[in-house]
Amino acid sequence: MPELPDVEGFARVLHSHVVGQRIEAIRVLDPGVIRGRSSSDFVDRLCGRVFREPARTGKWLVSPTDGPTLLLHFGMTGSLVWETSHDQDDRFARVIFETGQGMLVYQDMRKLRGLWLAESDDEITRVIDPQGPDALGLTGTELRDRLAGRRAGLKGLLMDQTVVAGLGNMLSDEVLWRARIHPARRYDSLDTAECRHLDRSLQQVLRTSVTQGSIPRTRSWLSSQRGAEAPRCPRGHGALRTSRFGGRTAYWCPVCQPSTM
Ligand SMILES: [Zn+2]
């Protein structure tokens, strides 16, 4: 599932391959991913425009042009790839932007989100909001301001884009495991040291993942155990537990992350 680091990776695809390039043609292979307008209107407004430097906010990729701004959301299964020749068998390719140099392909299997166009900053805000502050670079004080006083458990809060933007299921599990905090605990139950661990773990996990452009699956990361037949704590504590929080499956360690402290 694309989370903040993956979207940073997609921003790099744009930066490396299409910034400064003119969109010569747009092939909409599946109009179902074009949101808020018809696919012909989408093509008319964007074709001939030049890509400018992109920005990421939360899980959104904001890609301005010398005309409207393209807004991309990757839902659960989306991605953005650069190809110099298009693979005709790519059945999840939904929209292809052709420049003179190659093709930018928006792929998505499940099509939960898609592509929007915005003509102004107000319209960008209307599409993206309500969204909390971006998780990357959030200070400990800002994090506390977002989480304190809320009744929901931390796992659900960290995944709630209106609270902090950019984290999904995998990152929130990773952060809580690193901070040794049970996913169902409330922020107000944490002591000062735990609050600091949460803040540090969040920024460390984000920085490392953003550098890589995806969440590492190396053995020292909890994410390496997701989907494993017998998931085990990378700290050597034995079997991990799984629980449902907000419709998503959390992985956690009963030794590292006791439910009460
Ligand atoms: Zn453990």
Strands 103-108 and 115-118: unpaired
CA 252 to centroid of ligand 1, rounded, Å: 8
How close is the Cα of 161 to the center of ligand 1, in Å? Answer: 27
Overall average pLDDT of the 1-10 stretch: 96
pLDDT tens profile 92-127: 999 999 999 999 999 999 999 999 999 999 999 999
DSSP E strands: which ranges in the chain?
A: 25-28, 55-57, 60-63, 69-73, 78-83, 93-98, 103-108, 115-118, 241-245, 248-252
If you ran DSSP here, which 8-state letter would residue 229 be given? S
Question: How far away, in angstroms, is 26 Cα from ligand 1 center?
Answer: 49
- Name residues with Cβ closer than 5 Å to ligand 1, which is an ion: 233, 235, 237, 253, 255-256
- Per-residue confidence (pLDDT) for residue 83, from 0 to 100: 94
Q: Whole-model pTM?
A: 0.94
